[in-house]
Structures are given as C-alpha cells and as structure tokens.
Structure 1
Amino acid sequence: MLGAEEPIGALVALANGRAVRPVRAVLFDKNERTDWSLGWHQDRTVAVRARAEVSGFGPWSVKQGIHHVEPPFAVIDDMLTVRIHLDSVDTENAPLLIATGSHRLGRISVGEVENVVEQSPIHVCLAQAGDVWVYRTPILHASNAARPGRRRRVLQVDYAAGDLPAPLEWLGI
C-alpha cells in the first residue's frame, strides 16, 4: 500500500511529479495516556540507518533509538509527507494545523516562525477515518492536545525521491 508502485506511493509520486519511496513511518497515537501539543515548526531532520559524518549534515540526534540528522534544506524541500488517519479527526480531536503556502518560503528560522504563521492562512486538517492527507514536508505545522476521552491515531509516512549521499542511507520502512 505504501511502496512506490502501491496505491498511496503512486498518489505521492503523482503529487511529486516523479518516483518516490517511503523513507520513514511513525505512528502517532494521541490518547488519554499519551497526549501532547506541538507548537508551530518545520520538520528539519531525517531518519537514517546509521550515523556517518557527511559534509552539510548535522546536527545529529537520537529519537527512540533511531539516528536523525538535519540535512541540507534541499533534501527536506524535496520530500512529501502522507498522513493516513486511523481515527476521525474533528476540531476537538487535535487536528493538524498548517500555515498554507509556508512550504514555499524555504528554511524558516525559529525567530521568523511566529511572523510567518501570523501572515499565513491557517488550514485545519479535518479527516474521517481512512482519509489520506499529502503535504510538502517543510510546511509549518502544529497541533493541540486532544480533548479528554478522544483518541487520534495517524500513520505518518515521509517520502523522498533521491538517495542520501553515501554512506548515509534512509531508515526506510
């Protein structure tokens, strides 16, 4: 379903204008025990199989045992993110908020995020269970905590067209 020749992978390739492959998948499960809010930000790191020093890549971090690195922004700028909604998401269930068009602004400094958000139309990404959202990975986005008694599960899959410079390799799924 998620691979390059599968239904969702083919949809992402169509949106990107060229072949892509899934390079990372994360299940977000907001519920009464694991709930959080996330302020406005751009995704800036990619998950890789192992740490390797490559010019232009850094800083490094480890999240849940997986190596992440900030690549040159052109790598992020060329990626697409897919959100597959396992639960319906309404205004009370911590929908993703996006600053429309912000992905066209390139790398946005932390100090400029608030200004860009104030000047951008905000779109609330509502969904029914089974809906799929596709967006450019560098778009500014945020989400609130879910209301008590609500659950929001989303499978998020990042897609990329190219390889990372050797010896770096995408984590994959």
Structure 2
Amino acid sequence: MRSDRAALSILGALDDLADRQPQDRAGIRLRGVEALAPLLANDGSLGALAARTLGSGCRPVRAILFDKTEATNWALGWHQDRTIVVRERRETPGFGPWTVKAGLIHVAPPADLLAGMVTMRVHLDPVPADNAPLLIAPGSHRFGRIAEGDIDAVVERCGTIACLAERGDVWLYATLILHASEAATRPTRRRVLQIDFAADNLPGDLDWLGLQGGEAAP
C-alpha cells in the first residue's frame, strides 16, 4: 500500500475499525462492517490487489481482525487454513467435516476450491522479527491438502520465510500455504486485517456467507 494520502486515509479508517473491536480477544471475525465494502470490492483499493490474481469476479468471503498484544501473545503451529464459511449447512459431496465457530457455519471443501483462493493480510502496525511475523513455507500450497503427519517434512523441504512488514504493507498469499506464528519476543500491538478472497461459486445449494449483514463475531 503506498504511503500517499489515499493510503493514509485507508489506514485511518482501519485504525478506527480496530479501535471499536473488543481489546481482549486475539481475533475477531468481521461481518456487516460497511466501511470495508468499498475497500474490498474488486475495484477497491484492497480488493483490486486480489483481483489481479483471481480476476475481476473475485469477492471477499471472510475477514478476521487479529490484534496480538502483550496480553494476547499467542502462538500457532504450522497449519493450513482448510475451512470456509457458508450460509447454511447443505450436504454436498466432497465437503466436510462441518463445524461451528463463533456462531458461523464452517466446512472443509475440496482442496481444489481452496487452491483457487488467496488470503490478504493488511498490516496496521510494524511487524519486525521480534513482533511475531507470519511464517510461511513457500511453495507448500502446491502439495494440496497436507496430512498432519506430513507437515513437518513439507516445511523442512520448502523452507520458511518470515513475512516482515511496515505499517501499511500488504501481503497476499495462496490460502492453502502452510503458515505459523510464534509468540512475540518483544510484544507490542500487532494488528492485522486478514481477508480471504474467492472467485468461484460454491456447488449445489451451498452459498458463501460473505461479509454483508450481521455484526462482528468473537
């Protein structure tokens, strides 16, 4: 994101959004936030970045605001994001298992659907090496859905990159990529808006829940 007047305006709007969320939770799932709609549209300042990869038909399908602080200095081991959020549970071949998180219906889709998605991270704070940058295993998304027992071997084969960032930087990566996050060694506030984008419709009677309507969910 460029450090010009438009970028500063976007960051200011996202700062306001972050400040209105509960401060004691590591992650907040966002829905019905009107300020996000123009930014995430495929011709918006952020959505256009995803559209360059997925095409003009892409849409945001999930948004989470992460706020890692000294009080919420969590860590996550190596994993893939394997679920999507849908409007209703409709049994569909290849989709499952089903779970409910924060009152939202999640399901694991076929790997080829996840392979057609990208994830964006918009950094509202600097993320140097000691403030828990996202770790990725480059190229690991090409292995499809990776069995839990094979994750360590794939990480060793692919190597790791720490996604360092300055305020306003945007990272875009394949949703299926293996990633992890360590606890910060010098924790300060580390706010990241993460958005999943998809270009494909879901099969049968399944439908993306999307970001419109409702309120932020814990």
Q: Same fold (TM over 0.5)?
A: yes
- SS of structure 2 residue aligned to 1:172: coil
Find the counterpart in structure 2 of residue 144 from structure 1.
Answer: 182
Find the counterpart in structure 1 of residue 205 from structure 2.
Answer: 167
State the Cα distance separating 1:52 from its structure 2 match: 1.9
- TM-score for both structures, normalised by structure 2: 0.76
Structure 2 unaligned regions, length at least 5: 1-38, 212-218
Structure 1 unaligned regions, length at least 5: none
Pick one of 51, 63, 75 that aligns with 1:13: 51
- Greater helix fraction, Structure 1 or Structure 2: 2
State the Cα distance separating 1:19 from its structure 2 match: 2.9
Find the counterpart in structure 1 of residue 26 from structure 2.
Answer: none
Find the counterpart in structure 2 of residue 105 from structure 1.
Answer: 143
CA–CA distance in structure 2, aligned partners of residues 28 and 50 of structure 1: 26
Find the counterpart in structure 2 of residue 23 from structure 1.
Answer: 61
Does residue 36 of the first structure (1) align with residue 70 of the second (2)?
A: no
Contact 1:80–1:158 (8 Å) recurs in 2: yes
CA–CA distance in structure 1, aligned partners of residues 63 and 149 of structure 2: 29
Answer 1 or 2: higher relative contact order, Cα 8 Å, separation at least 6: 1
CA–CA distance in structure 2, aligned partners of residues 44 and 73 of structure 1: 8
Larger Rg: 2
CA–CA distance in structure 2, aligned partners of residues 96 and 164 of structure 1: 29
Find the counterpart in structure 1 of residue 100 from structure 2.
Answer: 62
- Greater strand fraction, Structure 1 or Structure 2: 1
For residues 30 and 104 of structure 1, do their structure 2 counterparts lie closer, same or farther at Cα, with a shift above 3 Å needed? same
CA–CA distance in structure 1, aligned partners of residues 55 and 195 of structure 2: 18
Pick one of 132, 140, 144 that aligns with 1:94: 132
- TM-score for both structures, normalised by structure 1: 0.94
Contact 2:42–2:56 (8 Å) recurs in 1: no
Does residue 126 of the first structure (1) align with residue 164 of the second (2)?
A: yes
Does residue 114 of the first structure (1) align with residue 152 of the second (2)?
A: yes
Pick one of 119, 127, 140 that aligns with 1:81: 119
CA–CA distance in structure 2, aligned partners of residues 131 and 155 of structure 1: 11
Amino acid of the residue matched to residue 71 of structure 1?
Answer: P
State the Cα distance separating 1:147 from its structure 2 match: 3.3
Aligned length: 173
CA–CA distance in structure 2, aligned partners of residues 88 and 16 of structure 1: 28
- SS of structure 2 residue aligned to 1:90: coil
CA–CA distance in structure 2, aligned partners of residues 168 and 93 of structure 1: 39
Q: Which consecutive segments of 4 or more residues in structure 1 shift more than 4 A? A: none
Contact 1:146–1:152 (8 Å) recurs in 2: no
- What percentage of aligned pairs have identical amino acids? 57
